[in-house]
Amino acid sequence: MNRRKFIGLTGMGIVAATLPVSIPAFGNATHRSNGRNGRLNLSYMPYELQLKHSFNLARSSRTTTPDVQVEIEYDGIIGYGEASMPPYLGESVESVCRFLQKVDLGQFTDPFRLEEILEYVDNVEDGNRAAKASIDIALHDLLGKIMGQPWYRIWGLSPEKSPCTSFTIGIDTEEMVRLKMQEAEPYKVIKVKMGLDNDKQLVEIIRSITDVPICVDANQGWNDPQRALEMAEWLSDKNCLFVEQPLPREMLKETGWLRERSPLPIIADEVFQRLPDIPRLAEYYDGINIKLMKSTGMHEAYKMTVLARSLNMKVMIGCMTETSCAVTAAAQLAPLADWADLDGNLLISNDRFDGIKIINGQVTVPTDRPGIGVKLL
């Protein structure tokens, strides 16, 4: 394990420390015998996620994802959180650390004042959604551990109602697609990234290997509504469940035109971030893809599922490339979703946590672990 620098923020100010090589940054215990000061203590460290394969999308390609790992400690109990920053969302390790430095959780003595704490965090500065999510997730983990319950139980959800999750196949060569399809074998849904000229070829390769349902994410890559409609019609004959973000986010009217004609549901992703963005989308999209790094965490993501349902919209729970920390936190919400796309932890080679498992293709969180359901590896 690389030498890691992490920074702790306390009511006394900023404390920086460098850990010796090969010692896990935050230790393996969820309880600590010291530091019982009756306040929330925030600490964090940059952690670069290494991708198993180059991740190719219609508008970008990369082999790593910047990430910051977060802990909130309260009376010896530790909650884990994470900020993952795919470059297109505009956050970075620097911006997340700068934001976290500004956050003073030491002013709070009762972690159960979730509304008050998260409202404070949201008002520290605009934007910074992944940074805010890291605090939200760690706080949820902490509260669940104090209560001794996983969040699906606290929310009153039935874990067996979690949908099957999809495994993502990015835009790639035929050889690589065939290789990745071997990894996709346990899954009952394949998510195909599209938006380039060889879209149909990619689906044909997958269809030569398996007939499991696919879903398609064009990542705004189809600029022409007529082409998007032709693709949706073609895909509907290929056992495709839905099409995610077919057109650029600005093309709302064109997306509405497409939705009226498309045989497949049209799902919103890049076009929205926060809760107030959702009502206007009901006119143009059939559903939304909720991700913790957009929603600022679990608290607002839960509200999003309720709002989307009230607008008669479909709900998908997705993720970025993340460790099992944020992916398992998102999986606590999966029983509320029609579809899940929670494979971000499987796309990296340096996960820090054990958490979500895929059993018979279904999202499964550990039922015997409180909080978000993760354990340090």
Q: 121 or 241: whose CB is closer to Mg ion?
A: 241
Length of the chain: 377
How many angstroms separate the CA atoms of 73 and 41, rounded? 5
Q: 32 or 62: whose CB is closer to Mg ion?
A: 62
Q: 30 or 219: whose CB is closer to Mg ion?
A: 219
DSSP string, 3-68: --EEEEEETTEEEEEEPPTTS-TT-S-SB-SS--SSS-EEEEEE-PEEEEEEEEETTEEEEEE-EE
Rounded to a whole number of angstroms, the minimum distance from the CB of residue 282 to Mg ion is 19
How many angstroms separate the CA atoms of 49 and 322, rounded? 7
Q: 67 or 217: whose CB is closer to Mg ion?
A: 217
Rounded to a whole number of angstroms, the minimum distance from the CB of residue 289 to Mg ion is 6
Contact footprint for Mg ion (CB under 5 A): 217, 244, 269
Rounded to a whole number of angstroms, the minimum distance from the CB of residue 170 to Mg ion is 12
Q: Which residue is nearest to Mg ion (CB)?
A: 269
C-alpha to C-alpha distances, 310 to 5, 140, 186, 245, nearest whole angstrom: 45, 25, 33, 21
Rounded to a whole number of angstroms, the minimum distance from the CB of residue 272 to Mg ion is 11
Q: 86 or 355: whose CB is closer to Mg ion?
A: 86
Which residues are CB-contacts of 95 (< 8 A; sequence separation ≥ 6)?
85, 128, 131
Rounded to a whole number of angstroms, the minimum distance from the CB of residue 96 to Mg ion is 21
Rounded to a whole number of angstroms, the minimum distance from the CB of residue 49 to Mg ion is 18
Q: 72 or 184: whose CB is closer to Mg ion?
A: 184
Which residues are CB-contacts of 138 (< 8 A; sequence separation ≥ 6)?
42, 70, 71, 72, 79, 80, 81
Among the listed residues 101, 81, 84, the one whose alpha carbon sits nearest the alpha carbon of residue 48: 84
